[in-house]
Amino acid sequence: MSKPNRPILELRVALTVRDYERSVKFYCEGLGIEPAAVWNNDGGKALMLNMGNATLEVFDERQAEVIDQLEAGGRVSGQVRFALQVPDLRSAMERLLAHGATLVHPPVTTPWGDYNVRLQDPDGMQITLYQVSEKGEAE
């Protein structure tokens, strides 16, 4: 299902925090939001909070390392990294590269089937572009 009039389909802000439990309590209890998803990968912890048309991902250092390893080959992102869902990863990547983005790592297919690429904006902000797999969209 193509959405050509919407080049960005979702914004996710992923926060890597020093004290995961404190941050989970702050965001969940402080805002009155239940996690939409919880992950535990290779000893790392993360959760996702639905915030209207955007989500906030809270990662501990280990989870950030796992994701950076998958997307960029090693721990390279800072405390905040944007993740933007796009309908066509290659086109979006080429547009950003043409406008000053730096390729951090070529596109990869994640273990969950998404197609991701890691870029860096001209000021150093890490950006993941991701295209959801056809299988993931149907589920």
**9-51 residue pLDDT tens:** 888 888 889 899 999 998 898 878 999 999 998 999 999 999 8
Does residue 64 fall inside a structural domain? yes
80: tokens are 């905040």
Cα Dmax for the chain: 42
Q: Determine how β-strand 115-120 pairs with β-strand 102-109.
A: antiparallel
Does residue 5 fall inside a structural domain? no
Does residue 3 fall inside a structural domain? no
15: alpha, beta or left, given left = phi > 0 and alpha = psi -120 to 50?
Answer: beta
**76-109 residue pLDDT tens:** 999 999 898 999 999 999 989 999 899 999 999 9
- Tell me, what DSSP letter sits at residue 86? -
Domain CATH for 129: 3.10.180.10
pTM of the model: 0.72
**Cα 26 to chain centroid, rounded:** 21
Count of other CB atoms within 10 angstroms of residue 35: 15
Does residue 2 fall inside a structural domain? no
Residue ranges making up the domain that contains 17 = 10-138
Give me the number of domains the chain comprises. Answer: 1
Helix (H, G, I), strand (E, B) or coil at 18: coil
Is the pLDDT confidence value at 137 over 80?
no
Does residue 83 fall inside a structural domain? yes
